[in-house]
Structure 1
């Protein structure tokens, strides 16, 4: 089967370089005013809160209690707060009911620093008599384990043993609440993803990179500055590295263009000067409006006078192999399957097609690494305890993150070709679809006369 894969990849080489799969030209998308952003985000939060009673009923829970002190917030707090709240105030307590009476509300919120919160909370519980009250006390799931131990003790003491006896742990309540992306988010998520693509493509261009002069860290910090200039932020330091050059043993990789030290920004990406013929990679994301993107793309630095036709065929094949592995994973992402089941099916299929690599996909959106099952981790390719055993939920976003290994004869080495692209669940077609697109063409860094002169020290 390995031979079949190579033939298929070779057949696609010309179509990828020539662009018969039309390449989009991403544009920077401006964010609305902060006031308008707050209005939009609060609307999404209201839609999410409206789903909570149904989620409680789905998991057989009658009530869900969340409580925290200022600066000691439950993880879920950040998914339910108003846009203009930057932390919990005093003690912030929320109660959600699965089946409110005709006279009662489905949710209650207190911001209080006296015992009044417990008196009113107990009165509501006494009136509704929920048999099971879920608390976020999971030991292995961050999104269902945010209740501080001290706060739990305070709640139990304040409500008394009868109510403390009804406390239960149902981690999927918090996980599904956070994981569910309401439909209104998608248009803005597409714009954010397009912006991320646009930043990467400008960063991987002759406008930023002068071969022989520009270093990987120079591009990283250019990306950070660009993010800020566009009024976005990010949830991790962008990384830029050179395939085949930074895949070195730690001792060798420690020597960088800025001295003998490991990279402070990202230990995976020691600093090197970018040269002609380099295959460059970035791991990059932007943050805005309570959403986070996550993307890994590849570029190739052309020599002066070269065109797309001069890109080594093996490099294009490496990207295509990573694309194929992404497609395999997406095809196996059946809602309800666990992450571990998807991982095994995907790896088995990849191996049958002669593809070697690693899969480490995760939910994204509200957080960069958000609530939901994971499909492998870099060090756990036989299954991920607890998190990998959760079922895949629909109506969420996922980063299809992985790498495929491919032998590059021009370097006489096997190189890891990473790719990462976000998908969303289309409830109409019952399929996962790319939020903005899938990188099927290398980003080509064209050398200009200015680049050449700068590299030669004549400018």
Structure 2
């Protein structure tokens, strides 16, 4: 059954959510994982996770009936000598892992690592990928103690075969099935609907509501829907008489409200930034200068979409987009990031807010099909009505599919408008 909620937002029941996520997991294990093992030439991939100190990758392997490692759980994926597909083992007695994995039974007096040693001996892989990484937190889930003990258990015969799983792990985390991308449209629609409900006189009263009041309403609304926010939302103000670009406090007529917000649903995250304008007493619509600035921000989005091509690195896109923005007399900052299981997800960084330059390592990764991004940026434009330069912050959850960037929903091209009196 579907849980119907007020104000046009519909959230699936827990059982329906779990059915979808389990279907995705089965398809990812059957279709995606063998391709990645072959692509990265990995004979065996291990994920060793402790209860209450979960490996971020282990969480992406759990079926819905299992929510933790229960002491210790070891996933072992084997491709060596497999003509088709791979073998998927889990060293656990929990039969709810099946049919996603084969439970590898321990013999008398064996612990999980003894069983793992026996499995490694059986398949004698040339390479054993483990989750260690200097640059990506979600690829660095193997604890120091488990790494040391693993080396001891494997001994000289196998310990020197250990390699980082960073590359295969990033591809596993960032690559989305077509069915996941289809559902992402629903996630983004829900996100935008919550934004629409937020930017209304029902929840924002000029001279009374504060930025923190709005944040708390959003957080409660998301919780009431049975969802999570993908990060702690923020609301700030751009004001004609403001002393800085982003201020907090009580909302006043003539303010621009800037909301940075996302949800987590079905194991995936969204991240969006949207803008509202509080009409002044003599306003019927936002000032022409502010409307022009929003159009300039949309122009930069167009530039980003036109430039982004398959195989380009994050740094390539960043440099080309900023260069093209200058040609179009746009004062732009670009700081976009991958998104998926994690809000700041696996894949190529496209600029950083505090480093408007090429980013070593993380910016060198290439854009690939069936990956998702938070197109996050700002442009700064002089507003004649305010007699100063004003930043316009926007962000959209987008995907790269069929060789091009694509929106999941319509982007923001007009301000949400809130009346000065209610």
- Please indicate, yes or no, whether the TM-score normalized by the shorter chain is above 0.5: yes
Aligned length: 401
Against the structure 1 CA distance between its residues 313 and 104, is the aligned structure 2 distance closer, same or farther, given a 3 Å change threshold? closer
Q: Which TM-score applies when normalising by structure 1?
A: 0.82
| Matched residue, 1:401 | 376
Q: Show CA shifts across 1:281-339 (max 9, x none).
A: 1001111110111000111111347433xx21110111111111122222222222211
Q: Does 1:328 pair with 2:303?
A: yes
* 1:63 and 1:130 in contact (8 A); partners too: yes
* 1:438 alignment counterpart: 411
What is the alpha-carbon distance in structure 1 between the residues aligned to residue 170 and residue 187 of structure 2?
24
Secondary structure of the 2:406 match is strand
CA contact (8 A) 1:101 1:128 kept: no
Asked whether the 8 Å contact 1:216–1:274 carries over to 2, the reply is yes
Q: Measure, in 1, the Cα distance between the counterparts of 2:258 and 2:122.
A: 59
Q: CA deviation at 1:96?
A: 1.0
Q: Does 1:46 align with 2:26?
A: yes
Partner SS, residue 107 of structure 1: strand
Q: Deviations over 1:168-219 (max 9, x none)?
A: 1242100000111112223332122111111111211111122111111111
1:299-448 to 2 correspondences below 5 Å:
299-304=276-281, 306-308=283-285, 311-427=286-402, 430-447=403-420
Structure 1: distance between partners of 2:385 and 2:112: 69
Task: Please say if residues 231 and 262 of structure 2, whose CA atoms lie closer than 8 Å, have aligned partners that are also in contact.
Answer: yes
Match of 1:124 among 110, 119, 124: 119
Equivalent position of 2:65 in the other structure: 84
Contact conserved, 1:239 with 1:269, CA < 8 A, in 2? no
Q: State the Cα deviation string for residues 26-80 of structure 1 (Å, max 9, x = none).
A: x743111111211111111122222112112111222111112111222211221
Task: State which of 286, 310, 313 in structure 1 corresponds to 2:263.
Answer: 286
CA contact 1:29–1:191 (8 Å) conserved in 2? no
Q: What secondary structure, in the 3-state scheme, does the structure 2 residue paired with 1:211 have?
A: coil
**Kept after mapping to 2: 8 A contact 1:182/1:395:** yes
Equivalent-residue separation in structure 2 for 1:224 and 1:394 (angstroms):
33
C-alpha distance in 2 between matches for 1:143 and 1:158:
25
- Between the aligned partners of 1:159 and 1:237, the Cα distance in structure 2 is 43
Q: Indicate if the aligned counterparts of 2:9 and 2:193 stay in contact, CA closer than 8 A.
A: no
Distance 1:337 1:195, change over 3 A: same
Looking at structure 1, the residues matched to 419 and 172 of structure 2 have their Cα atoms a distance apart, in angstroms, of 46
Is 2:49–2:72's contact at 8 Å kept on the other side of the alignment?
yes
Q: Counterparts of 1:78 and 1:227 in 2: how far apart (Å)?
A: 22
| Alpha carbons 1:132, 1:167 under 8 Å: kept | yes
1:61 matches 2:56: no
Q: Which moves more between the two structures, 37-46 or 113-122?
A: 113-122
- CA distance, structure 1, for counterparts of residue 239 and residue 43 of structure 2: 55
Which deviations, in whole Å up to 9, do the C-alpha atoms of 1:429-456 show, x marking residues without a partner?
x3221011211111111345xx2xxxxx
Task: Name the counterpart of 1:33.
Answer: 13
Give the match for residue 163 of structure 2: 168
Instruction: Kindly state the Cα deviation for residue 280 of structure 1 after the two structures are TM-superposed.
Output: 1.1
Q: Cα deviation per residue 1:130-170 (whole Å; 9 max; x = unaligned)?
A: 21111111111123222111111111111211111111124
**Higher fraction of strand:** 2
1:181 aligns with 2:189: no
Query: Is the Cα contact below 8 Å between 2:310 and 2:404 reproduced in 1?
Result: no
Cα deviation for residue 407 of structure 1 reads: 0.7
Distance 1:359 1:437 in 2: 20
Tell me, in whole angstroms, the C-alpha distance in 1 between the residues paired with 2:243 and 2:282. 30
Q: Contact between 1:359 and 1:401, CA under 8 Å: does it hold in 2?
A: yes
Counterpart Cα distance in 2 of 1:190 and 1:434: 9
Q: Is the 8 A contact 1:90 1:111 kept in 2?
A: no
Which residue number corresponds to residue 213 of structure 1?
Answer: 208
Q: What does residue range 143-162 of structure 1 map to in structure 2 within 5 Å?
A: 143-162=138-157
Partner Cα distance (2:355, 2:233) in 1: 24
Asked if 2 retains the 8 angstrom alpha-carbon contact of 1:282 and 1:298, the reply is yes
TM alignment of 1:17-28, pairs within 5 A: 28=8
Which structure would you say has the larger RCO, counting Cα contacts within 8 Å and 6 or more residues apart?
1
Q: Partner of 1:242 in structure 2?
A: 237
Range with greater deviation from structure 2 (191-200 or 107-116): 107-116
Q: Deviations over 1:248-270 (max 9, x none)?
A: 45xxxxxxxxxxxxxxxxxx965
Q: Is the 8 A contact 1:376 1:384 kept in 2?
A: yes
1:271 matched to 2:237? The reply is no
- Which of residues 272, 279, 282 is equivalent to 1:295? 272
